[in-house]
Structure 1
């Protein structure tokens, strides 16, 4: 089962309500509760999730069906922590235990939810609960808050006349607390299309044997949410020589075999880059020893790209100035006759810088002499964004199914949006260039997470939907990336005296962070906690940590270079 990192969340004016975008009616494909016959609530004891039981007792010979199910649930929790479900299998008939796949899916429920166990027939118990999500066998999370789920367990007696579970859905069901005891969120690293940068692919990985799981997931390839947005140096069909990656004296021993060996020094370097970057997130791993078809690979990983340190910038007095006052990027003598708005610059030292002229023209700025060059002339141009390839992304009201890009060499492309129609008015591109957060306008506005499909030269080809979050009609959303896997969005809704900050972390559910001054524009610095916010009266506030403080009484269009 392939899943996305986000389900659909609705930013309500009263609270952060949740919308489910996938249809799951029952746990693990099991039959739902019968519509006929008496249903009785049973006194099954659901294990205390606050207690970390890592050893599950064996079933007693005299155990009732209810006690067998209680013991099985406790054994599943212990099995998740130990990554060993042999004890849980003792509560099943022998043939059932052989067929059951506990690692196919993990069903999650909130810590404050008490699962209900009901009896629908003499030999059946039904576990009912309010789900908060699932994690599949590749570590991909699909949120499903408040979805009512049910799993049917059928019982039979074994040869000794003892009750055992005869049929059940694949996977396990545990609380969020138990899940976080057993699993941790870590990144797999794949290559950008031009192979100049690593792109993270967050997965939930068992803490026990984490190095083996990370390696296995990496060999299986990127998640569906990154189709067309990344590539890999790992040979097709590559596998581990054994089913384990041992760590000896801090060195992970990765032994691979593949039909197509990687022979070029460049290919070996990229392969090492992916594997080392993925495994060295584990504190106990200080190095990696890599072999492919029993040949040691000693190639050093690339150094990667060097990015600008983020600097806050505003438009003040028709000039582009740094927030700290140390530099003026575009002075007033260069902007005569221009209504300067919305400066933007890419994340690399040689990235171009552009500005809008009254939302009618995109102008590039020569940072050496301050001269301006017109790139685009249109009406009502949305604030542009510059990616690391130097592509300048922009939108106009007529672009309901695409965005346009241009570079300083006057190359131009229209990038098709392959999902619901609607004009993208505010957008932010991840530093690696693989993902975009975008606000989609219309009668049913939304904040959309997209993957950017590019060719090997980084030319964008299409925008594919990963997930979507509904906004209240009339709301505005201003997204900004803070790290390669996390963003923050300022949401301003009609009728509210304040805006709200919402944290968007890949692989996790969105969480509302705090209220903020009412904002009409917003920016956040990559790799920092610094944020800038513009109010309707053109005041600019800064936030570093938890406090907002006024920075300018009259300024516009805060951003970070």
Structure 2
């Protein structure tokens, strides 16, 4: 590798840290005894404590109180059950679903002395498996029947599930990742689910892991757990942050490789619930298994940029070049306007203005891949394939192998009239895209179906709608394993949307000149490049310019192992 070189065309913007004054610690007053420490996995249920039913409450007030009590999962929603009749109390299933709505839009109507309907403005839903999806329709109507018990109104019939305001949902439910393998058994792929952090969380996560992935990931991921294996008993006790996962006797017949992969999936899944170790057993017999090594999907924390002088990782006011690839990139004429680098940094897929999509190898080879007009920025996967598609022909994605030859690949994004941006996840198992259908733009994600060698065969039959685009989609990137960042333009403003795959979206204004986006391992790390070559990073709610003279803000698909 060449020595580190000063970047002559880059002007680093000084960063000024301002330390805010802090109030002092109290130096007088009584000493109060704190609570005894507990393990995170053994902590009591997440404790929002809603109000009890009030004496003399009307039927509408009882329904309103019951709905609000959905925010308190402690004791299996014991507070909410106080609003129900004695006979209905144990029939209601709060875990069946979550309706996420706009609390200020709720409208209760008393249809008769013993019936109340509640009209909601629906935003999203969480099903019994914890999967988050956008609501199919904007309006939902829930029906409640009530009777008098001991002179007080109580609910005798109600829909299963709870209702939570969109601004309150993430304070009661939290995201957890079920971990599956990609078809080559090299990468772990997260499948995000939402559950309240109760004492039964380890059991819920383990049971859902054994149930398999979400439908949109079918064919794109693999699980080591055979159908013959089940939890026995159906509970996962956690002591001192160690989970005991006990299976039926079918697990005794599994080979060492399968057990190792099972251990890997369990370790990674339950780690999202702060469980530090997992012991697999059959009755009192421990199953010998060591977790399998998997490839990391992390990228360099430094931005990868192209300037008039070099290509490499920006550190302060200097660039660290990539051996071989940096030299090759500087020889490309005309200069690239977009680039994505493979995990091993042995090649980059680039788009040249007016020329098409090319593959640039670290040995200096430059191969023309796609010369169709109006191509969007290409994306590469960890198995050496490059994906390219024209903006106005979303269904005609072409996948090129390492030799630059197209491989058979079925039509993509059926019914879409346009695609603005796309990017593969770092594990290669998911493809996110901003597409337009019926004049409306939205961000979608699909599973990537591959064979055991990693050859792409197509996209999953089902796709997942992440959310409508804010204005016109400009660029898209994966910020971490579960989150994509979407840069869009809406009139005279630019917007960055941070979108969890299977979760809510957060949108913030961005510099108006922003034309490209990149991340670095965390959903909070977002970088933008302006049309004038300025490089921005988000710090809190503000965008701070950190450099100038940037011709291309490249994206990374991983780093060498």
Q: Does 1:523 align with 2:514?
A: no
How far is the alpha carbon of 1:85 from its aligned partner?
A: 4.4
User: What residue is the counterpart of 1:466 in the other structure?
Assistant: 464
How far is the alpha carbon of 1:258 from its aligned partner?
A: 6.3
User: What residue is the counterpart of 2:478 in the other structure?
Assistant: 481
Q: Does 1:190 align with 2:183?
A: no
**Is the Cα contact below 8 Å between 2:410 and 2:458 reproduced in 1?**
yes
Q: 1:226 and 1:262, CA in 2 relative to 1: closer, same or farther beyond 3 A?
A: farther
User: What residue is the counterpart of 1:305 in the other structure?
Assistant: 295
Counterpart Cα distance in 2 of 1:412 and 1:55: 63
- Trace 1:90-489 onto structure 2 (pairs within 5 A): 91-92=84-85, 94=87, 96-97=88-89, 99-110=91-102, 113=104, 115-144=106-135, 147-156=138-147, 164-176=154-166, 179-208=169-198, 209-257=200-248, 259=250, 263-283=254-274, 285-292=275-282, 295-306=285-296, 308-317=299-308, 320-323=311-314, 324-327=318-321, 329-331=325-327, 335=331, 338-346=334-342, 348-349=343-344, 351-367=346-362, 369-396=363-390, 399-413=393-407, 414-440=409-435, 443-464=439-460, 465-467=463-465, 469-471=467-469, 475-489=472-486
RMSD: 3.4
Deviation track 1:382-421 (CA, whole Å, cap 9, x = no partner) reads 3221111111111135743131111223452234215323
Counterpart Cα distance in 1 of 2:110 and 2:64: 14
**Is the Cα contact below 8 Å between 1:190 and 1:198 reproduced in 2?**
yes
TM-score (norm 1): 0.78
Equivalent in 544, 554, 559 of residue 559 of structure 1: 554
How far is the alpha carbon of 1:335 from its aligned partner?
A: 2.6
- Structure 2, unpaired ranges of 5+: 1-46, 557-561
Q: 1:137 and 1:237, CA in 2 relative to 1: closer, same or farther beyond 3 A?
A: farther
Comparing both chains, which one has the higher relative contact order based on Cα–Cα distances under 8 Å and sequence gaps of 6 or more? 2
| Number of residue pairs aligned between Structure 1 and Structure 2 | 497
Runs of 4+ in 1 over 6 A off after TM superposition: none
Q: 1:410 and 1:261, CA in 2 relative to 1: closer, same or farther beyond 3 A?
A: farther
- Trace 1:529-548 onto structure 2 (pairs within 5 A): 531-536=526-531, 538-543=532-537, 545=539, 546-548=542-544
Counterpart Cα distance in 1 of 2:524 and 2:70: 39
How far is the alpha carbon of 1:381 from its aligned partner?
A: 3.7
Counterpart Cα distance in 2 of 1:70 and 1:468: 30
How far is the alpha carbon of 1:266 from its aligned partner?
A: 1.2
- Structure 1, unpaired ranges of 5+: 1-50
SS of 2:245's equivalent? Answer: strand
